[in-house]
Amino acid sequence: MDALLEDPSTLATTGLVVCEVLQGIRTDAEGARVERSLLSLTLLPEPSLGTYRRAAELFRVARRRGRTIRSTIDCILAAQCIEADVEILHGDRDFDRIAAIAPLRIHPSSPHPPGPRRR
């Protein structure tokens, strides 16, 4: 992770990620610092109607294949990453489940690296 942060120009985020991270902040000072850091990153385009449709399709395909995706937001983020052709760095097993059924690329530094897929 430290190597990634050395060159923030290689990182991107989304409005949904900014929202989720800032929701977890406890103090205004920490919030200001974290917000500055997040807003220094490239921001992926906001989801289009096509992105939302792709997210719904990801959810349905996963369900059909017996994989439970717990979060609609995770499907939207995955769809954004697929459309932008970028890897996702995550700590949420939903993304591993999505990657098992779609061309979502997982960054190798993720806590749950790609490997044998389980339900």
Question: In a structure prediction context, what are the per-residue pLDDT tens digits for the chain, which is 119 residues long?
Answer: 556 667 767 889 999 999 999 999 999 999 999 999 899 999 999 999 999 999 999 999 999 999 999 999 999 999 999 999 999 999 999 999 999 999 999 998 888 655 554 44
Alpha-carbon span 22 to 12, nearest angstrom:
16
Burial of 65 per CB tally in 10 Å (0-12, 13-18, 19+):
exposed
* Same domain, residue pair 82 and 93: yes
Structural domain count of the chain: 2
Same domain, 53 and 100: yes
Q: What is the pLDDT of residue 89?
A: 92
| 3 and 57 inside one domain | no
| Same domain as 74, residue 25 | no
- Residue 82 CB partners (closer than 8 Å, separation 6+): 54, 102, 103, 104
Give the range of the structural domain holding residue 97, as residue numbers without chain letter. Answer: 46-119
For residue 118, what pLDDT is reported?
44
Query: According to the model, what pLDDT value does residue 109 have?
Result: 84
Q: Are 13 and 57 within one domain?
A: no
In this structure, the answer to whether residues 114 and 77 fall within a common structural domain is yes
- Residue 10's pLDDT is what? 80
Tell me the C-alpha distance between 47 and 27, whole Å: 29
What integer pLDDT is reported at residue 1 of this predicted model? 54
In this structure, the answer to whether residues 21 and 53 fall within a common structural domain is: no
Are 23 and 2 within one domain? yes
Residues 108 and 74 placed together within one structural domain of the fold: yes
